């Protein structure tokens, strides 16, 4: 258990209350306006110098410190998931088909608790503090629109911090490491275009389903045989569709894919090899093809100096060196602009039944960990 200061323990009731209201009112994507209004109402009662709405439903709250020599930002994501909740909690989702199954309700509650602590201690805080409540982490990404609307300016942010509740590590541990932490991800649609014909005379057409089968088999060799095995990479095909009826050769096949790596350089290498493969199949199978990129997040790469500063203030019994994960996070866009540190807040607790993974309809966590998050943020601004 992480040791909590008395002023953090005193926030327990309100922090848990925030989490439970937010959990029972999940919203998705950029359409998180009720969530925004709840947070805005709480922030307006505190001692922030400026509160702005960004990217429609996002919020930037600024507290200017006594010295103002540096500016530290802290970010929480706001959106839920389109999942039917099965937890049977008394504060379970009131919106059928939607659930906070990724801990974002907890992230917001932590930041609101931290906001209250900041307000109580404003006269003793040297740094400028920026709190970021960001919509749409799960889909197209709300980080980039907020950056474009001036999130990291006025005051100019020197470093940004974020965390994610994670049931992969034990409750009471803070998972952190310098360098690559979470993967780059890119959604890719690949289209193969041939020529339809009657199934009785396939030689009169170009069968894209056969071509797709050859492509899928060959694709696996790109990752396993042409990429350095020490460089982790995944190219997954999650959805395939093509054709209209059983007795006509499919003119078009679409493959919906996801590519994940820990560097953009490796992604570009894989992309080039896949395009080479497609061009070869155009010649060998007589098809036409296209490689179309969709939603893209860069890899989360923690700034070495700032990460080491955080590690230095963590008691050894709470520190856990995080393993890089293939999941993605648009926190990475902030890190492209300013030094950033992303951390994992452990929530796995078998004794209490908190064992379910993220994005599961039974996901839940011990609300005690919310205070761990507030304490962590307090320690960051107080000790580094």
pLDDT tens by residue, 125-149: 999 999 999 999 999 899 999 999 9
Q: Which of 167, 45, 60, 160 is nearest to 106 (CA)?
A: 167
Residues 141 and 297 sit within 8 Å (Cβ to Cβ): yes
pLDDT of residue 24: 99
* Whole-number pLDDT of residue 230: 86
What is the pLDDT confidence band of residue 98, given thresholds at 50, 70 and 90?
Answer: very high
Handedness of CA 328, 330, 331, 337 (dihedral sign): positive
Looking at the predicted structure, is the pLDDT value of residue 229 above 90?
no
Q: What is the mean pLDDT of residues 186-208?
A: 97
Query: pLDDT, tens digit, for every residue of 146-167?
Result: 999 999 999 999 999 999 999 9
CATH second-level architecture of 184-296? 2-Layer Sandwich (3.30)
User: Smallest Cα–Cα separation from 49: which of 121, 144, 119?
Assistant: 119
1 has a pLDDT exceeding 70? no
For residues 306 and 126, the answer to whether their CB atoms sit within 8 Å is no
Average pLDDT, the chain: 97
The pLDDT of residue 68 is 87
Which of 179, 190, 170, 212 has the alpha carbon at shortest distance from 348?
170
Give 67-95 pLDDT, tens digit per residue: 989 999 999 999 999 999 999 999 999 99
Angstrom distance (rounded) from CA 349 to CA 311: 23
Res. 344 pLDDT band, cuts 50 70 90 = very high
Ordered by start, the domain boundaries in the chain are 6-181+299-383, 184-296
Could you tell me the maximum CA-CA distance found in the chain, to the nearest angstrom?
Answer: 82
Question: What is the spatial distance between Cα 34 and Cα 14, in angstroms, rounded to a whole number?
Answer: 19
Render pLDDT for 250-300 as a digit per residue (tens, 0 to 9). Answer: 999 999 999 999 999 999 999 999 999 999 999 999 999 999 999 899 999
Q: Which fold has domain 6-181+299-383?
A: Aminopeptidase (3.40.630)
Integer-rounded Cα Rg, in Å, for the chain is 24
Contact 35, 78 (CB under 8 A): yes
Helix axes 304-313, 368-383, angle to 10 degrees: 110
SS (H, E, C) the chain: CCCCCHHHHCCHHHHHHHHHHHHHCCCCCCCCHHHHHHHHHHHHCCCCCEEEEECCCEEEEEECCCCCCCEEEEEEECCCECCCCCCCCCCCCCCCCCECCCCHHHHHHHHHHHHHHHHHCHHHCCCEEEEEEECCCCCCCCHHHHHHCCCCCCCCCCEEEEEEEEEEEECCCEEECCEEEECEEEEEEEEEECECCECCCHHHCECHHHHHHHHHHHHHHHHHHCCCCCCCEEEEEEEEEECCCCCECCCEEEEEEEEEECCHHHHHHHHHHHHHHHHHHHHHHCCEEEEEEEEEECCEEECHHHHHHHHHHCCCCCEEECCCECCCCCCHHHHCCCCEEEEEEEEEEHHHCECCCCCCCCCCCCCHHHHHHHHHHHHHHHHC
For residue range 29-69, what is the model confidence (pLDDT) as tens digits? 999 999 999 999 999 999 999 999 999 999 999 999 999 89
8 Å CB contact between 322 and 175: yes
């Amino acid at each position: 258990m992480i040791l909590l200061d008395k002023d953090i323990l005193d926030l327990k009731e309100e922090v848990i209350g925030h989490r439970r209201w937010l959990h029972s009112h999940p919203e998705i994507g950029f359409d998180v306006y009720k969530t925004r209004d709840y947070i805005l109402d709480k922030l307006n009662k505190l001692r922030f110098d400026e509160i702005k709405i960004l990217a429609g439903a996002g919020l930037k709250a600024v507290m200017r410190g006594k010295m103002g020599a540096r500016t530290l930002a802290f970010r929480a994501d706001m959106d839920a998931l389109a999942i039917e909740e099965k937890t049977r909690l008394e504060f379970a989702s009131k919106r059928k088909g939607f659930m906070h199954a990724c801990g974002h309700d907890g992230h917001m509650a932590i930041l609101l608790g931290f906001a209250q602590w900041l307000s109580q201690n404003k006269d003793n805080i040297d740094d400028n503090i920026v709190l970021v409540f960001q919509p749409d982490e799960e889909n197209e990404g709300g980080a980039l629109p907020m950056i474009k609307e001036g999130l990291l300016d006025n005051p100019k942010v020197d470093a940004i911090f974020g965390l994610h509740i994670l049931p992969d590590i034990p409750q009471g541990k803070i998972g952190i490491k310098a360098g690559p932490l979470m993967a780059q991800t890119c959604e890719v649609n690949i289209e193969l275009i041939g020529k339809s014909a009657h199934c009785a005379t396939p030689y009169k057409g170009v069968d894209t389903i056969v071509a797709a089968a050859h492509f899928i088999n060959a694709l696996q060799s790109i990752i396993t045989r042409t990429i350095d095995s020490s460089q982790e990479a995944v190219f997954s095909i999650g959805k395939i569709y093509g054709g209209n009826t059983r007795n006509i050769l499919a003119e078009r096949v679409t493959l919906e894919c996801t590519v994940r790596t820990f560097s953009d350089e490796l992604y570009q290498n894989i992309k080039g090899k896949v395009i080479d493969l497609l061009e070869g199949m155009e010649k060998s199978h007589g098809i036409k093809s296209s490689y179309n990129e969709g939603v893209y997040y860069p890899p989360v790469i923690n700034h070495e100096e700032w990460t080491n500063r955080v590690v230095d203030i963590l008691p050894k019994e709470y520190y856990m060196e995080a393993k890089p994960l293939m999941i993605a996070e648009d926190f990475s866009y902030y890190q492209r602009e300013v030094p950033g540190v992303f951390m994992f807040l452990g929530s796995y607790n078998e004794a209490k039944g908190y064992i379910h993974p993220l994005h599961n309809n039974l996901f839940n966590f011990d609300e005690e960990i919310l205070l761990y998050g507030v304490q962590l943020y307090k320690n960051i601004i107080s000790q580094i």
